[in-house]
Amino acid sequence: MTESFDAVDIIRTKRDKKELSDAQIDWVIDAYTKGKVDPEQMSALGMAIFLNGMNRREISRWTEAMINSGERLGFETLGVPTADKHSTGGVGDMITLPLAPLVAVFGVAVPQLSGRGLGHTGGTLDKLESIPGWNPNLTNDEIRDQLKTVGAVICAAGPNLAPADKKLYALRDVTGIVDTVPLIASSIMSKKIAEGTDALVLDVKVGSGAFMKTKEMAEELARTMVDLGTDAGVKTVALITNMETPLGRAAGNAIEVQQAVDVLHGGGPADIVELTVRLAKEMLEAAGKPVAESEIRAALADGRAWAKWQEMIRAQGGDPDAALPVAKHSKDILADKSGILSKLDAMAVGVAAWRLGAGRARQGDPVQAGAGVIMHAKPGDQVKAGEPLLTLLTDTPEKFDHAIAALDGGWEIVADGSAVAAEPLIMERIA
């Protein structure tokens, strides 16, 4: 770059609630990626952005600069349309697992570059690594080859895809600036745009178990990301979905894979199936190959999606027929009275699963494949005193007390179910 700036001047600009120029943004992202801007300086700029925000032009340019810090993957040679999905993270959210092979059934390739869990939210790669032999690390050529032969791949993003985001994300995590829309949106979209997919469907979670706690915050994030995708020429749609209650009946790694297998055999929890089918419909429409919902559901029921899953897992060295890991110890949490379960807090369940060993506190920490929480009832279900409400799973039983403490106040049972409001799973669509 020919033009050079002073990092302190850029910090002052945003501190004083002024706009950063395109050239300032390009320079600071490039210089930080190359180690020419100190982490302390980038932390100060990040806090100024957290406090004072960015407009659409600034966010778009910030995202573009992060994309330009590395390589673009691109799938132009495949000869078929591509579509991807991104979830902002929740509890029990294993939708990617059945969704990728389901969409691939209909001739749309799915390059699903995924991540690992941190804190109470699970990671797709952690879940799939509970399958014996499965390999998350593929080269760009291996990704393209698998998309040609199978039509779907779930794997880790390579180190050269938006490397500026990796450096900035680590900094955000330790400086208290994770939950700000400009930085969340640019982090997510820089990776997705650099990936090179034709279409992108965003699942923006809102509620207790999500990063976005209010619908207004979720709408702002969704609209910002849709705008970023549109500006970059990617057909982008967002759904705002409910994360007050965990998705499905399992929060953990192997137990969520098992749930995905159930869905791919035509069963599984109704909310998982509903969201999987709706996201598949949105992805296929965005990719220009619309399919009726009835036909999408048929692909789950008749074995086509299961066959595609088996191909996908085998292509990455996994054995789709192998037994999944099982935790060494379990403990049931019993209902203290009979009635209707009126609340099951997603954050409480997510933190309990994390404390049992299903998640990690820091990047790089190990996870237990079999640990987690099985939910025997969801809000609106009838429960009986003394019967299991939840089952906790872990290889290290000393973790039980800490997990049980996380669940304190995490559920409620009422005598009259008429007062239990059934909130919709899919709350809004933004395009």
- Catalytically active residues are 86, 165, 172, 187, 191
Q: Are 352 and 392 in contact (CB under 8 A)?
A: yes
Task: Give, rounded to a whole angstrom, the gap between the first and last alpha carbons of the chain.
Answer: 35
| Interhelix angle 215-231/181-195, nearest 10 degrees | 40
In residues, how long is the chain? Answer: 431
The Cα–Cα gap between 123 and 115 comes to 6
Give the three-state DSSP class for 307.
Answer: helix
Counting beta carbons within 10 angstroms of the beta carbon of residue 324, is it exposed (0 to 12), middle (13 to 18) or buried (19 or more)?
middle
Q: How many whole angstroms separate alpha carbon 42 and alpha carbon 28?
A: 8
CB 389, CB 403: distance < 8 Å: no
Give the Cα separation of 56 and 232 in Å (integer).
Answer: 13
The closest alpha carbon to 282, from 150, 427, 424, 431, belongs to: 431
DSSP 158: P
Q: Can you spell out the DSSP letters for 165-204?
A: HHHHHHHHHHHT-SS-HHHHHHHHHHHHHHHT-SEEEEEE
Distance CA(221)–CA(226), nearest Å, equals 9
Residue 388 Cα distances to 109, 333, 384, angstroms: 42, 6, 9
Q: Are strands 372-375 and 235-242 parallel, antiparallel or unpaired?
A: unpaired
CB 186 within 8 A of CB 69: no
